[in-house]
Amino acid sequence: MVAGRKILALGVSTAGGDWPPLAAVVLGLSQRGHSVRYFADVPIATALRDTAVAVDAVRSEVSLRSYVTRWNRRIAAEPSAAGFIPIVTPLTEWSADTSATVCDLISQFRPDVMLSQLITMDLASRIKARTGLRWCFVNPAYYFGQQSRRPFEEDFGPNEHPLFSHCRSLLDSADLVLHATDVIFDPPPAQLPTHHRYLGPLLWEPPSIMPAFLAEPGPPWVLVSLSLIQQEEEIRFARAALTALSTRPVRVLLTLSESHSRDAILPLPGNARVEHYVSHAEVLKRACLLVSHAGHGVVLKALYYGVPMVLVPWGRDQPGVAARAKALGVAEVISRDALSEARLAKAVEAVLASPQYQIGAQRHAQRLRNQNPVGLACQAIEALLNVA
C-alpha cells in the first residue's frame, strides 16, 4: 500500500445517487492514510462533516444546481429556445466556470491524482487537459462505454442521451475507470478496456439514526423508493404503489424527496407511512420487497440484502438497471408508459407469491457480501499512483 499520497475528489449532489459511490472511495482512501481533499457542494460537505476528509465546499451561488436553475428559467422565459440548447449546457457551463477555482486548489494542495463521479467528468477532463493531473473516474452504475452488451439507446431515457453520450466520449481520457457494479448484474464487454475495473457495488450512505418504528414488531416492510432528485410525474408512480400494496399484509414505507410535499400523496392507506429520508439499507434489512424507479444504488442495495423487486424505470439510466435486474430473475419490470394500479398490483402479487424471486435475490446477496469494492477501488488507485 502506498500511504500518505494526496488525492483530490470532485463531487456534486445534484444528480442524486451519483455521488455516494465516490464518497465511499474517498473515505476508504482516507482510512488507508492518504490525504484527501473533496471539492464538493454543501450537501456532501454536510454528509462528511464528522469524517477526517477535508471538504472545500462550493458556494451555493456557484453550485451546479444554481446553473441548472438559471438554465430552466431561461427555457421557461424563452420556450422556443429549448430545442436549440443542449441538455448538457448547464454542466459544461459550470465546468468551464469552475475549472479555474479547482486549478487554484490544485496549485495549493498539489495532489497526485484526481477522482470524479459521473457529473464531474467534464470538469475533471478540463482539469486534466490544463494541468496533466492523472484522473480516475468512479462510475456509479453499469458500464456504458463502447461494446456494451446492451444497446446504448435502450439503457437510457431519451432526455439523458445527450448527457451520457457526452460522458461516454470522455471515458478514454480518464487514466482509470472504476465501475461500482457487479459483473454478474452487468456483464462487461468481451474486451473490457485495459484501464477499466469492475469493483462490485459501492453502497455507502450518510450516517443517520435508525427510526424506532423500523424495529417495532409487525408484518414485513415494503420499501417504495422514489428518486433522490425529483422526476416529472413520479407521484403517479407513488400513488399507484401505495394503492397496489394497501390490501397486502405488509407495512409500507415510502421515501419521498424534499422537493415533494407529503400532501401530494394523501390520503395514505392504513399500512403506509411516508418519510423524507430513512436509510434504505436499514429498511431493506427488514423488507420482503422493493418497489422502485430502478436507480442503480437502491437496486444493488436490495440485491445485497436479498430483497426481490418490482421496478418501474422512470428515466436517466433506470431502463438499463431494470433490464439487468429482470435478466437476473429478481425483479418484475413495468414500463413507465404501461404503469397502472392494476399492472403494479399484478407484479407485486407475482413477486410475493413466487419463492423463486426471493431465492434468486438471496443467492446473489451471499455473493455480493463476500466482495470488497472499497478495498479493490483503493488498490486500483494506489496502483495508478505507483505508475511513474
CA–CA–CA angle 285, 14, 134 (5° rounding): 95
| 61 & 110 share domain | yes
Instruction: Find the CATH number of the domain harbouring 110.
Output: 3.40.50.2000
Whether 369 has a pLDDT exceeding 50, the answer reads yes
Reported as half-sphere exposure (CB side, CA atoms, 13 A), residue 155 has a value of: 20
3-state secondary structure of 287: strand
> Which cell is 160 given?
439523458
Beta-carbon contacts of 255 under 8 Å, excluding residues fewer than 6 positions away, are: 223, 224, 225, 226, 274, 275, 276, 277, 278, 280, 283
In a domain, 206, yes or no: no
Q: Using an 8 Å Cβ cutoff, are 6 and 133 in contact?
A: no
Whether 19 has a pLDDT exceeding 50, the answer reads yes
Whether 213 has a pLDDT exceeding 70, the answer reads yes
The per-residue pLDDT for 82 is: 47
pTM: 0.92
The per-residue pLDDT for 221 is: 97
| 274 & 364 share domain | yes
Distance CA 239, CA 226 (A): 11
Return the exposure string of 37-54: e unless at least 16 CB atoms fall within 10 Å of the residue's CB, then b.
Answer: bbbbbebbbebbeebebe
| 273 & 347 share domain | yes
Distance CA 82, CA 355 (A): 48
Distance CA 56, CA 62 (A): 13
The closest of 65, 135, 123, 63 to 99, measured between CA atoms, is 123
| 316 & 172 share domain | no
Percent of the chain with pLDDT over 90: 74
Burial of residue 297, with CB atoms counted within 10 A of its CB: 0-12 exposed, 13-18 middle, 19 or more buried: buried
The per-residue pLDDT for 388 is: 57
Burial of residue 232, with CB atoms counted within 10 A of its CB: 0-12 exposed, 13-18 middle, 19 or more buried: exposed
| 45 & 189 share domain | yes
> Which cell is 265 given?
400523496
Residue that is written with C-alpha cell 403517479 in the block: 236
Return the exposure string of 2-24: e unless at least 16 CB atoms fall within 10 Å of the residue's CB, then b.
Answer: beebebbbbbbbbbbbbbbbbbb
> Which cell is 303 given?
440485491
Among 4-8, 57-61, 120-124, whose mean pLDDT is lowest?
A: 57-61
Could you tell me the end-to-end alpha-carbon distance of the chain, in angstroms, rounded to an integer? 16
Residues 151-199: tens digit of each pLDDT: 999 999 888 888 899 999 999 999 999 999 999 999 999 999 999 999 9
Whether 79 has a pLDDT exceeding 60, the answer reads no
Mean pLDDT of 354-375: 95
75: pLDDT confidence band, cut at 50, 70 and 90? Answer: low
Q: Using an 8 Å Cβ cutoff, are 3 and 125 in contact?
A: no
Mean pLDDT of 29-42: 94
| 291 & 344 share domain | yes
30: pLDDT confidence band, cut at 50, 70 and 90? Answer: very high
Residues 93-146: tens digit of each pLDDT: 899 999 999 999 999 999 999 999 999 999 999 999 999 999 999 999 999 998
Find the DSSP H helices in the chain.
Answer: 20-31, 42-47, 64-77, 89-109, 121-131, 152-155, 161-170, 234-245, 280-284, 296-304, 318-328, 341-353, 355-368, 373-386
Among 54-68, 190-204, 278-292, whose mean pLDDT is lowest?
A: 54-68
The per-residue pLDDT for 78 is: 64
Residues 228-269: tens digit of each pLDDT: 666 667 888 999 999 999 999 999 999 987 777 777 787 899
Its domain, for residue 108, covers 6-201+371-386
| 375 & 364 share domain | no
Determine how many CB atoms are found less than 10 A away from the CB of residue 351: 21
Torsional sign, CA 138, 143, 146, 151: negative
The per-residue pLDDT for 83 is: 47
The per-residue pLDDT for 299 is: 97
In a domain, 25, yes or no: yes
Q: Using an 8 Å Cβ cutoff, are 255 and 275 in contact?
A: yes
3: pLDDT confidence band, cut at 50, 70 and 90? Answer: low
Distance CA 61, CA 319 (A): 33
| 164 & 110 share domain | yes
Whether 271 has a pLDDT exceeding 70, the answer reads yes
Domain count, the chain: 2
| 247 & 191 share domain | no
| 110 & 216 share domain | no
290: pLDDT confidence band, cut at 50, 70 and 90? Answer: very high
| 245 & 178 share domain | no
